[in-house]
Amino acid sequence: MNDIDPVSLTIFLFFFLLVTVLGFLAARWRKAETLDNLDEWGLGGRSFGTFIAWFLIGGDIYTAYTFIAVPALLYAGNATGFFAVPYTIILYPIIFVFLPRLWSVSHRRSYVTPADFVQGRFDSRGLSLAIAFTGILATLPYIALQLVGIQAVLDVMGLGGGEDAGWFRKDVPLFVAFALLAAYTYSSGLRAPALIAFVKDTLIYLVIIVAVIYLPTQLGGWSGIFDSAGKAFDSFNKDSADAIAAGEARPKGLIPGLGVSQWAYATLSLGSALALFMYPHSVTAVLSTKNRNIIRRNAALLPAYSFLLGLLALLGIAAVAAGIQVKNPQLAIPQLFEQEFSPWFAGVAFAAIVIGAFVPAAIMSIAAANLWTRNIYKAFLKPDATDAQEAQQSKYASLLVKFGALLFVLALPKDFAINLQLLGGIWILQTLPAIVIGLYTRWFHRYALIAGWAVGMVWGTIAAYNTEVVGDPGSHFGGSVAPLEVFGIHLSDNLIYFGLTALTLNLIVAAAGTFICRALDIDAGTDDTHPTDYLADAGDPDVVDRLDPLSTPPVD
Partner 1 sequence: MPEHTPPGKGPLIGAGVALAIAIVVPLLVWTYAKPDPELWGIPFFFWYQFLLVIASVVLTSIAYKLVIDHERKRRLAEGRTNGEER
Task: Give the x-and-dash track for 54-83 against partner 1 (CB under 8 A).
Answer: ----------------------------x-
| Among 4, 179, 255, 508, contact with partner 1 (rule: CB under 8 A) | 255
- Say whether residue 536 binds partner 1 (CB under 8 A): yes
540 binds partner 1 (CB under 8 A): yes
Query: What SS3 class is residue 323?
Result: coil
Beta carbon of residue 266, minimum distance to partner 1 (angstroms, whole number): 5
**Options 4, 213, 304, 462; binder of partner 1; rule CB under 8 A:** 304
The nearest distance, CB 432 to partner 1, in angstroms, is 15
Kindly report the backbone phi and psi dihedral angles of residue 525, in degrees, each rounded to the nearest multiple of 5, phi listed first. Answer: 75, 175
Backbone angle region of 29, left / alpha / beta, with phi > 0 → left and psi within -120 to 50 → alpha: beta
Among residues 20, 66, 119, 306, the one that binds partner 1 under rule CB under 8 A: 306
d(CA 503, CA 273): 14
**To 5 degrees, how large is the angle CA 449–CA 264–CA 211?**
115
Q: Among residues 151 and 298, whose Cβ is nearest to partner 1?
A: 298
Of 511, 516, 455, the C-alpha closest to 486 is 455
Q: Is 226 in the site for partner 1 (CB under 8 A)?
A: yes
Where in 93-122 is the site for partner 1 (CB under 8 A)? 93-94, 96-97
Count of residues interacting with partner 1 (CB under 8 A): 47
Shortest distance (Å) from residue 194 CB to partner 1 = 24
Least CB distance to partner 1 at residue 529 (A) = 10
CB atoms within 10 A of CB 516: 14
Q: How far is the CB of 98 from partner 1 (least distance, A)?
A: 11
Q: In a 3-state reduction of DSSP, which class is residue 33?
A: coil
* CB-nearer residue toward partner 1: 8 or 480: 480
**107-124 core/surface letters (b: 16 or more CB in 10 A; e: else):** bbbbbbbbbbbbbbbbbb
Shortest spacing between CB 234 and partner 1, in angstroms: 13
Residue 482 β-bridge partners: 496
Q: Provide the minimum distance between the beta carbon of 63 and partner 1 in the complex, in angstroms, as a whole number.
A: 19
Min dist CB 293 to partner 1, Å, is 6
CA 127/CA 438 separation, integer angstroms: 12
3-class state of residue 4 by DSSP? coil
> Strand 481-486 vs strand 489-497: parallel, antiparallel, or unpaired?
antiparallel
Please report whether residue 467 would count as binding partner 1 according to CB under 8 A. no
Rounded to whole angstroms, what are the CA distances from 531 to 35, 169, 333?
A: 35, 58, 49
Q: Residues 488, 267: contact at Cβ < 8 Å?
A: no
Q: Decide: is 159 part of the binding site for partner 1 (CB under 8 A).
A: no
Binding residues (CB under 8 A) for partner 1: these are 82, 85-86, 89-90, 92-94, 96-97, 221-224, 226-227, 254-258, 262-263, 265-266, 269-270, 293, 296-297, 299-301, 303-304, 306-307, 310, 314, 530, 532, 536-537, 540-543
